[in-house]
C-alpha cells in the first residue's frame, strides 16, 4: 500500500488543481515542508506586520509622508517596520522604483488578512486585491484587540495556499523565460508578492521580512 506524507499529498492536489485551471505543472518541483515541521509566525506578529504593510503601501499610493509615519507611531508600530520600510517612509521624495515596490505590498497584506480570517478566500492571482476593502478594514480596527486577539487559519489551510502559490510562481516564471504570457491570466507581480509573504508566514527559509527569498 502506497502512503503519502501530508506534503506529498498536498503537492499532488495542487498539481491536479493547476492542470484543471490550465496552468502548466513542473512535477520535478519538490515537496514543501508540511505540518510535521512548519511553525507559523505568531498571530500577533502577523497582525502587526499587516498594519505596517498598510502604512507602507498607503504611503506608496500617495498618503502624505507625515500621515503614514503617524499611522504607525500612534499604534506603537514604528519599531515593527523593517529597516527598508523605515528608510522608505522617511524619504520625502522616494524613487519611483521604491514606490512601485512598496505599493505592491497591498498584495502581501491581502495574504496576511486572509491568513487572519478577514479575507474569505484567495482567488487565482490574476486580479489585484480589493484595496478599498483593505482601507475600510484597517482604518476601522483598534490596534490592541486586532493584535492581541489575532487568530490564524488552520495550518493545513495556509500550507495549501503556500503550496499552490509556489507552483503558480514556477508557471509564471517559466512562461516569461519562454517569451509567453503567463498562463490562465496569472499576474506575475501578484504571484511574487504571495510567494514572498507565504515564505515569511511559514518561515520557509527562516529569514527576516526584508531578506525573504522566493527562489524555487
pLDDT of 1 above 70: no
Percent of the residues in the chain that have a pLDDT greater than 70, as a whole number: 99
Distance in angstroms (rounded) separating the CA atoms of residues 83 and 91:
12
| Confidence (pTM) | 0.97
207 vs 87: CA distance, rounded Å: 19
What pLDDT, on the 0 to 100 scale, is given for residue 32? 98
Number of H helices, E strands in the chain: 10, 0
Q: Are 26 and 106 in contact (CB under 8 A)?
A: no
Question: 104: which residues sit within 8 A by CB, 6+ positions away?
Answer: 57, 189, 192, 193
pLDDT for position 188: 98
Q: Are 113 and 134 in contact (CB under 8 A)?
A: yes
Say yes or no to pLDDT of 2 above 80.
no
Q: What is the pLDDT of residue 4?
A: 87
User: What is the spatial distance between Cα 63 and Cα 122, in angstroms, rounded to a whole number?
Assistant: 26
Residue 148 pLDDT: 98
Extended strands (E) in the chain = none
pLDDT in tens, 65-77: 999 999 999 999 9
HSE at residue 143, side-chain half, CA atoms within 13 A, is 14
Residue 22: band (very low, low, confident or very high) from pLDDT cuts 50, 70, 90: very high
Annotated domain spans of the chain: 43-148
Look at residue 57 in the predicted model and tell me its pLDDT: 99
| Mean pLDDT value of segment 186-204 | 99
Return the number of other C-beta atoms located less than 10 Å from residue 216's C-beta.
Answer: 13
Instruction: State yes or no: pLDDT of 90 exceeds 90.
Output: yes
Mean pLDDT over residues 69-92, rounded?
Answer: 98
C-alpha cell at 53: 504593510
Mean pLDDT of the chain: 98
Which of 28, 54, 40 lies closest to 200 in space, CA to CA? 40
DSSP letter at 175 equals: H
User: Alpha carbon of 135 to those of 56, 64, 72, 194: distances in Å?
Assistant: 13, 15, 15, 19
Q: Answer whether residue 194 shows pLDDT above 80.
A: yes
Check whether 181 has a pLDDT greater than 90.
yes
Rounded mean pLDDT of 199-211? 98
113 has a pLDDT exceeding 70:
yes
Report d(CA 56, CA 122) in Å as an integer: 22
Q: Is the pLDDT of residue 51 over 90?
A: yes
- Residue-wise pLDDT tens digits, 127-165: 999 999 999 999 999 999 999 999 999 999 999 999 999
Amino acid at each position: 500500500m502506497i502512503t503519502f506524507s501530508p506534503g506529498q499529498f498536498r503537492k499532488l492536489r495542487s498539481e491536479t488543481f493547476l492542470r484543471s485551471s490550465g496552468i502548466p505543472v513542473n512535477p520535478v518541483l519538490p515537496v514543501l515542508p508540511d505540518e510535521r515541521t512548519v511553525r507559523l509566525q505568531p498571530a500577533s506578529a502577523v497582525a502587526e506586520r499587516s498594519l505596517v504593510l498598510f502604512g507602507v503601501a498607503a504611503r506608496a499610493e500617495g498618503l502624505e509622508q507625515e500621515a503614514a509615519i503617524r499611522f504607525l507611531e500612534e499604534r506603537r508600530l514604528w519599531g515593527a517596520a523593517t529597516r527598508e520600510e523605515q528608510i522608505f517612509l522617511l524619504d520625502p521624495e522616494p524613487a519611483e522604483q521604491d514606490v512601485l515596490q512598496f505599493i505592491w505590498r497591498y498584495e502581501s497584506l491581502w495574504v496576511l488578512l486572509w491568513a487572519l480570517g478577514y479575507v474569505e478566500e484567495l482567488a487565482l492571482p490574476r486580479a489585484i486585491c480589493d484595496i478599498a476593502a483593505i482601507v475600510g478594514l484597517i482604518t476601522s480596527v483598534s490596534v490592541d484587540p486586532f493584535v492581541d486577539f489575532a487568530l490564524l487559519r488552520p495550518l493545513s489551510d495556509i500550507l495549501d495556499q503556500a503550496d499552490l502559490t509556489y507552483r503558480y510562481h514556477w508557471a509564471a516564471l517559466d512562461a516569461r523565460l519562454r517569451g509567453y504570457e503567463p498562463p490562465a491570466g496569472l499576474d506575475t507581480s501578484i504571484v511574487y508578492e504571495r510567494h514572498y509573504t507565504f515564505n515569511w508566514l511559514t518561515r520557509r527559509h527562516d529569514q527576516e521580512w526584508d531578506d525573504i527569498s522566493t527562489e524555487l
